[in-house]
């Protein structure tokens, strides 16, 4: 059985949105693993960040 989805809506100033998108672009697994208690939690964190990175890209905030 899958977990229910949660929809998140946020309004950010453009500079904050770009900075956060840059973070998601630059963060690697080791960054998440350093903050997680387990590998599984790190993978969940990384996957959530990727979903947010994609939402930024859909809003034309896609750092190169």
Write down the pLDDT at residue 63. 87
- Which two three-digit tokens encode residue 6? 């949660």
Write down the pLDDT at residue 35. 97
Whole-angstrom distance, CA of residue 55 vs CA of residue 57 = 5
Q: Which parts of the chain have pLDDT scores under 70?
A: none
Other Cβ atoms less than 10 A from the Cβ of 45: the count is 17
Residue 62 and residue 56 in contact, taking contact as beta carbons nearer than 8 Å: yes
């Amino acid at each position: 059985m899958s977990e229910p989805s949660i929809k998140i809506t946020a309004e950010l100033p453009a500079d904050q949105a770009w900075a956060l998108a840059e973070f998601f672009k630059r963060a690697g697994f080791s960054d998440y693993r350093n903050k997680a208690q387990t590998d599984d939690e790190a993978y969940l964190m990384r996957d959530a960040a990727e979903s947010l990175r994609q939402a930024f890209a859909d809003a034309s905030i896609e750092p190169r």
